[in-house]
């Protein structure tokens, strides 16, 4: 009895994939990607795997699938996916060349470009490139880039359209790398690791060309290539017919209208429907978190769990719940509560974390809380996210998405203020307490070079806001402190005047003390411009003119009347003032700010 040819699939990282060798047959179409296609792929990878220039833990990017079959030399002939794979290969070539400019060659990166295979007949070693093209002039161009035989500028791009596009793709990648990773070779090495290990794809391997072409046809023409979102929509449409034996068309039209509304809401606020669905499931259902439940698992979850949760019995009601929740989700994206009012903590989180959104799992779980409790939930989330950020270098990595999903199981059951307090104590405050020592260590050593500039402004703004709030019972919004009219001032100045450095008690360590948190304050721009690049004594009068109490208290002990709120604040917060500004003063102020920070971010409550 004949057996069907075996087709195998495997989920691989790029590093796994490029342990083998690939070739694009001569009957394939040439490389056709334009500059915009290459830029889009680069942007998508960075969007998914980076947040404000830092690699996101546990993030992955799904590149799609490729279809191959092995020829008689054990080389995998690439039938589907050559545009993406060729572009990824060019990325490693560009990374290698960029590192060589720093004189930091990487054997790992070079191994992703070329390797050694064994001749199946003679057993001899053969040096081979991981990817080769068999069509036209493109083959020579890719080989030239991979071999670094000549500079890319000297490659003849007039010979064919594919030659031109390959060179243009390489140059686009080089431009991207230089803009994003201009500072050091370490950052480009980190990107190469992220690209190698966190970009994943599915390799479908068939026994021969005939089967490979058949799979290719199926993927592209018969719907298997539909996105998970389309598959889910179709799944719900199929199940909607069970609600009516007489006229399913009416239900289909009703469902389509709601589905279109759902996707439109998310499109307007710039969010991915699949990300929303992932967070919704993670916040409302018990799921397997072993692989952090990636977006690719959403459709599979519906297929496997629809009956258990009775989604299949009334898909329309389920989609209606999704639509309502998506409206809340859109508000959260815009820094608003469910009723559309401004939520300052959500706005702060967006400033702090940029595109980071894993906390939306908790927001969705808490959507039915009273407004006051929901705002306090956001406050706690802001505190925890900041503590996670500031302790990143001193702690083991925390799997936030997994923790938040597990906490959601309890949060969704909270119905009263007492239950909410117990939830916060057992989750947020317990987690903050476990990070307390790490937080102090990180904050005492905090300098400008250890954190992004926008986060340093956020830190100074929050500290300054706390002092004003304690002293006056109200304060400006964080927007006011982050406004361009308020700047970061270096008390020990960024000076080119040698006598200022010579007068400092540790002149050799001047630059290291310059960037310490204890040497930084917020100051109105109009004042800053008038005192810049001067000694501490020359700056004192300017600091006294500031509206910001934390800044004024640097040079005087603010006092109004007897036992007033302002006086009590200065005493309770231990706001020091200084007569001289030396290394001891900077260290003492850094310790003072560390104690203030514990109050700001909830480690002393």
Q: Is the four-CA dihedral 532, 536, 538, 541 of positive or negative sign?
A: positive
Distances (CA, A) of 11 to 107, 123, 216, 599: 25, 30, 17, 46
CB of 397 within 8 A of CB of 438? Answer: no
Mind listing the pLDDT tens digit for each residue in 508-538? Answer: 999 999 999 999 999 999 998 888 888 999 9
In order, the DSSP letters of 432-444 are HHHTHHHHHHHHH
The mean per-residue pLDDT over the stretch 140-165 comes to 82
Rounded distance, CA 435 to CA 393, Å?
A: 12
pLDDT at 221 over 50: no
Rg of the chain in Å (alpha carbons): 29
Angle, helix 161-180 to helix 35-49, in steps of 10 degrees = 30
Distances (CA, A) of 450 to 325, 446, 453, 475: 38, 7, 9, 29
Q: What is the pLDDT of residue 393?
A: 58
Confidence (pTM): 0.65
DSSP letter for 560, please.
-
Rounded distance, CA 360 to CA 275, Å?
A: 10
CB of 86 within 8 A of CB of 133? Answer: yes
Rounded distance, CA 53 to CA 72, Å?
A: 44
Q: What is the pLDDT of residue 329?
A: 96
E strand or H helix at 62? strand 61-70
pLDDT at 2 over 70: no
Rounded distance, CA 581 to CA 491, Å?
A: 8
**What mean pLDDT value characterizes the chain?**
86
Mind listing the pLDDT tens digit for each residue in 232-284? Answer: 776 776 666 555 555 555 676 777 788 889 988 988 888 888 899 999 999 99
Phi, psi of 486 (to 5 degrees): -115, 130
CB of 28 within 8 A of CB of 80? Answer: no
Distances (CA, A) of 584 to 218, 459, 464, 526, 538: 72, 22, 22, 29, 19
E strand or H helix at 489? strand 486-490
E strand or H helix at 477? none
459 CB-contact burial (10 Å; exposed 0-12 / middle 13-18 / buried 19+): buried
> 412's torsion region: left (phi>0), alpha (psi -120 to 50) or beta?
alpha
The mean per-residue pLDDT over the stretch 52-76 comes to 84
Distances (CA, A) of 338 to 123, 354, 411, 531: 68, 21, 17, 46
Rounded distance, CA 447 to CA 461, Å?
A: 16
Mind listing the pLDDT tens digit for each residue in 472-506? Answer: 887 688 999 999 899 999 999 987 788 888 899 99
pLDDT at 174 over 70: yes
pLDDT at 223 over 50: no
pLDDT at 7 over 80: no
185 CB-contact burial (10 Å; exposed 0-12 / middle 13-18 / buried 19+): middle
Q: What is the pLDDT of residue 536?
A: 93
Beta strand 50-51 pairing with 54-55: antiparallel
Q: What is the pLDDT of residue 504?
A: 93
Residue 299's pLDDT band, with cuts at 50, 70 and 90, is confident
DSSP letter for 546, please.
-
Q: Cβ–Cβ contacts within 10 Å for residue 57, how many? A: 13
Mind listing the pLDDT tens digit for each residue in 358-405? Answer: 899 999 999 999 999 999 999 999 999 999 989 985 555 567 888 999
Angle at 482 between CA 340 and CA 176, to 5 degrees: 95
Mind listing the pLDDT tens digit for each residue in 130-147? Answer: 999 877 666 788 888 988
Per DSSP (E only), the strands in 103-146 are 114-118, 125-129, 131-133
Dihedral, CA of residue 259, residue 261, residue 266 and residue 268, to nearest 10: 150
Closest of 435, 423, 434, 409 to residue 376, by C-alpha:
423
% of residues, the chain, pLDDT over 90: 44
């Amino acid at each position: 009895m004949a057996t069907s040819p075996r087709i195998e699939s495997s989920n691989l990282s790029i590093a796994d994939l490029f342990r083998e060798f690939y070739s694009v047959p001569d009957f394939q179409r040439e490389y056709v990607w334009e500059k915009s296609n290459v830029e889009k792929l680069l942007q998508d990878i960075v969007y998914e795997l980076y947040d404000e220039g830092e690699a996101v833990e546990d993030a992955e990017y799904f590149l799609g699938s490729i279809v191959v079959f092995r020829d008689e030399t054990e080389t995998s002939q690439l039938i589907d996916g050559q545009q993406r794979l060729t572009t990824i290969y060019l990325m490693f070539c560009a990374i290698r060349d960029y590192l060589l400019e720093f004189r930091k060659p990487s054997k790992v990166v070079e191994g992703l470009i070329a390797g050694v295979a064994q001749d199946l007949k003679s057993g001899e070693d053969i040096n081979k490139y991981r990817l080769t093209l068999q069509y036209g002039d493109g083959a020579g161009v890719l080989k030239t880039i991979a071999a670094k035989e000549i500079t890319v500028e000297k490659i003849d791009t007039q010979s064919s359209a594919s030659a031109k596009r390959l060179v243009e793709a390489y140059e686009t990648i080089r431009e991207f790398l230089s803009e994003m990773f201009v500072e050091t070779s370490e950052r480009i090495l980190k990107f190469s690791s992220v690209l190698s290990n966190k970009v994943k794809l599915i390799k479908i391997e068939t026994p021969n060309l005939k089967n490979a072409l058949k799979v290719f046809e199926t993927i592209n023409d018969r719907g298997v290539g539909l996105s998970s979102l389309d598959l889910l929509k179709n799944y719900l449409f199929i199940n909607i017919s069970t609600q009516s034996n007489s006229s399913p068309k009416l239900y289909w039209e009703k469902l389509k209208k709601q589905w279109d509304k759902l996707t439109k809401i998310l499109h307007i606020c710039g969010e991915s429907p699949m990300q929303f669905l992932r967070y919704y499931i993670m916040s409302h259902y018990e799921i397997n978190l072993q692989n952090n439940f990636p977006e690719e698992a959403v459709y599979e979850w519906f297929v496997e769990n629809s009956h258990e949760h009775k989604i299949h019995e009334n898909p329309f009601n389920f989609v209606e719940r999704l639509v309502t929740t998506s409206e809340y989700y859109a508000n959260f994206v815009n820094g608003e509560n469910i009723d559309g009012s401004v939520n300052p903590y959500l706005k702060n989180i967006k400033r702090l974390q940029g595109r980071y959104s894993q906390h939306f799992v908790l927001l969705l779980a808490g959507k039915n809380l009273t407004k006051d409790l929901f705002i306090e939930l956001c406050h706690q989330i802001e505190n925890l996210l900041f503590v996670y950020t500031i302790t990143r270098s001193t702690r083991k990595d925390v799997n936030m998405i997994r923790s938040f999903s597990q906490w959601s199981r309890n949060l969704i059951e909270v119905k009263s203020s007492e239950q909410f307090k117990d939830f916060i104590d057992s989750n947020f405050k317990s987690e903050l307490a476990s990070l307390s020592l790490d937080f102090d260590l990180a904050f005492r050593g905090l300098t400008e070079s250890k954190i992004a500039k926008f986060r340093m402004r956020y830190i100074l703004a929050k500290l300054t806001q706390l002092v004003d709030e304690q002293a006056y019972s109200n304060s400006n919004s964080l927007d006011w402190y982050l406004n361009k009219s308020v700047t970061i001032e270096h008390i020990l100045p960024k000076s080119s005047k040698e006598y200022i450095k010579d007068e400092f008690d540790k002149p050799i360590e001047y630059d290291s003390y310059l960037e310490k948190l204890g040497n930084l304050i917020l100051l109105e721009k109009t004042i800053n411009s008038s005192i810049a690049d001067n000694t501490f004594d020359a700056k004192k009068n300017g600091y006294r003119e500031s509206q910001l109490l934390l800044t004024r208290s640097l040079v005087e002990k603010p006092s109004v009347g007897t036992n007033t709120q302002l006086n009590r604040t200065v005493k309770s917060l231990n706001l020091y003032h200084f007569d001289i500004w030396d290394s001891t003063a900077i260290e003492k102020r850094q310790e003072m700010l560390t104690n203030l920070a514990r109050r700001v971010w909830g480690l002393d409550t």
